[in-house]
Amino acid sequence: MPGKDPYDDQGYNSAFGAGAEACFFNTIALRMGYYFEKRPKDIRPEGGAWVTTDKSGFTWGYGARFPLHQ
Beta bridge partners of 17: 35
Q: What is the pTM of this model?
A: 0.54
The predicted structure's pLDDT at residue 47: 61
Judged against a pLDDT cut of 70, whether residue 3 lies above it is answered with no
H/E element holding 64? strand 55-64
Mean confidence (pLDDT) of the chain? 77
> What are the φ and ψ backbone dihedral angles of 8, each rounded to 5 degrees?
-75, -20
Could you read off the pLDDT of 15-38 as tens digits, one per residue?
Answer: 889 999 999 888 899 999 999 888
Could you read off the pLDDT of 36-50 as tens digits, one per residue?
Answer: 888 766 666 666 656
Judged against a pLDDT cut of 80, whether residue 59 lies above it is answered with yes
